[in-house]
């Protein structure tokens, strides 16, 4: 179903202030969508994916659901949370799907940028190894 038609059916008020946009559906769509929201284009999606993979690799205990330090995403056993190895592998590979762990990371690191109308000068400035 086309995004506009879906929104019209379930939440028509969103269409008052928002316009659904599409991104290439090549397995990098989450990174493309975040780049488009932050920078107005999808060109930096591979760099965003790389920075995400570096974050996951450098801070394993934060993203490993088996770690006591990991903030549990959802206390609902019906939602599959992949292993740390799966998450890191998928984050490192262009065109590979991403999961709820990566989505959480992107939202945590980029929420201020995504909520802002001003585009930031640098990506993931808070992330460092």
Domain membership flag for residue 15: no
Domain membership flag for residue 57: yes
Burial grade of 18 (CB within 10 A; 0-12, 13-18, 19 or more)? exposed
- What pLDDT is recorded for position 73? 62
75-100: pLDDT as tens digits: 677 888 899 999 999 999 999 988 88
64-76: pLDDT as tens digits: 988 888 876 666 7
Task: Report H helices in 16-119.
Answer: 29-39, 45-58, 60-63, 84-92, 100-115
Listed in sequence order, the residues at least 6 apart from 9 whose beta carbon sits closer than 8 Å to its beta carbon are 1
- In this model, does residue 55 exceed pLDDT 50? yes
Q: Where residue 111 falls among pLDDT bands split at 50, 70, 90?
A: low
7-31: pLDDT as tens digits: 899 999 988 888 888 888 899 999 9
Domain membership flag for residue 19: no
Burial grade of 40 (CB within 10 A; 0-12, 13-18, 19 or more)? exposed
Domain membership flag for residue 43: yes
d(CA 94, CA 108): 21
Residue numbers of the domain that contains 102? 24-115
pLDDT above 70 covers a percentage of the chain that reads 81
- What pLDDT is recorded for position 57? 95
Burial grade of 54 (CB within 10 A; 0-12, 13-18, 19 or more)? middle
Domain membership flag for residue 49: yes
For residue 77, what is the DSSP state? Answer: T
- What pLDDT is recorded for position 17? 85
SS3 call for 86: helix
Domain membership flag for residue 18: no
Domain membership flag for residue 55: yes
Domain membership flag for residue 121: no
d(CA 45, CA 36): 9
What is the domain count for the chain? 1
Q: What is the CATH number of the domain that holds 43?
A: 3.90.70.80
């Amino acid at each position: 179903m086309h995004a506009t038609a879906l929104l019209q059916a379930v939440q028509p008020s969103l269409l008052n202030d928002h316009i659904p946009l599409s991104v290439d559906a090549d397995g990098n769509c989450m990174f493309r969508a975040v780049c488009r929201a932050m920078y107005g284009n999808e060109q930096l999606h591979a760099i965003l994916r790389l920075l995400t993979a570096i974050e996951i690799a450098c801070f394993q205990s934060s993203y490993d659901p088996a770690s006591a330090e990991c903030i549990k995403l959802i206390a609902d056993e019906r939602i599959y949370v992949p292993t740390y190895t799966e998450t890191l592998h998928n984050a490192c590979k262009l065109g590979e799907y991403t999961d709820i762990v990566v989505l959480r990371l992107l939202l945590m690191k980029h929420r201020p940028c995504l909520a802002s109308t001003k585009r930031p000068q640098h990506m993931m400035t808070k992330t460092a190894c």
